[in-house]
Amino acid sequence: MNPELQVVDVWKSFEGLNSSYRDSLADLGTPLRMALGALVLAKDLYGISYLSVEEVHDALEAGGVGIEKKQVSNAISRAGSKISRRKIDGVMKYRATTQGRRDIEDDLLPQGVQVTFIESGRPRLARQRLGDLFGGLKGSVRICDPYYGIRSLDSLELIPQGMEVQFLTFQMSGKEDSTRVGHSIKDFRHERPKTELRRLSPPLTLHDRYILDDLGIKIVGHGIKDIGGKDSFIISIPRDLVEDLMMDLVSAFDRKWTSAVPL
């Protein structure tokens, strides 16, 4: 179901916020920045695209931020281009725009964590953002992405030449022509011999999307072939914040990699 239209218990969702996000919300300072924080977290953590004024107020209250509904309403009415508006089932609802995100993301996230938001319908900007991310990868790179296609290869080409890359996937996108994809993979392997692509076969499967390198974890909201075609985000978490998780993910990836077959 489209998250814009589904019935969501915002209060229950935000009651489960961890202490880091609760503290960050409270420290944003002004009603507008707090409202933006609630909208960003609703989208990134719970997949809720739009919230009404009442839902933003509920989210903040459930997250431990004491604020009056009138303050939320006034802040949103003065937000300008930082918030987009849409009437859904007769109710005006709101979401944070890119400008709004940039205004609060550095203060909302735990220190060291970065989020790159990529709007749909902006393929050039998406490629630039993905190029910036991939250009900064260090050491050995492991990429887990359940679906692959020609656009996956386009994205992998943004990783600097000479880096060792392992791309683990599960199945081809249903809209792709298998013969064309096969020829493209053959050409890609010839040009990028240090990038290896493998596919898991049933009963093994993949669900998660992430990138591991020597610097940490990158969590990808959509597959790398879809970035730019859909609203998406990439969360970058430094290694020193997730050392134990990194070890677990590397071990799990390597076990699956051993069982996978080359593309």
The per-residue pLDDT for range 156-165, each reduced to its tens digit, is 998 988 899 9
At residue 221, the pLDDT reads: 75
* Domain 10-106 in CATH 1.10.287.610: no
Mean pLDDT of the chain: 85
Query: In the predicted model, is pLDDT for residue 55 greater than 50?
Result: yes
pLDDT band at 31 (very low <50, low <70, confident <90, very high): very high
- Average pLDDT for 120-126: 74
- Average pLDDT for 201-213: 83
Nearest of 53, 97, 54 to residue 76 by alpha carbon: 53
pTM above 0.85, yes or no: no
At residue 5, the pLDDT reads: 38
Within the chain, all domains assigned CATH 1.10.10.10 are found at 10-106
Within the chain, all domains assigned CATH 3.30.870.10 are found at 112-262
* DSSP structure class, residue 236: E
Assigned architecture for domain 112-262: 2-Layer Sandwich (3.30)
- Average pLDDT for 39-68: 89
The per-residue pLDDT for range 176-191, each reduced to its tens digit, is 788 999 899 999 999 9
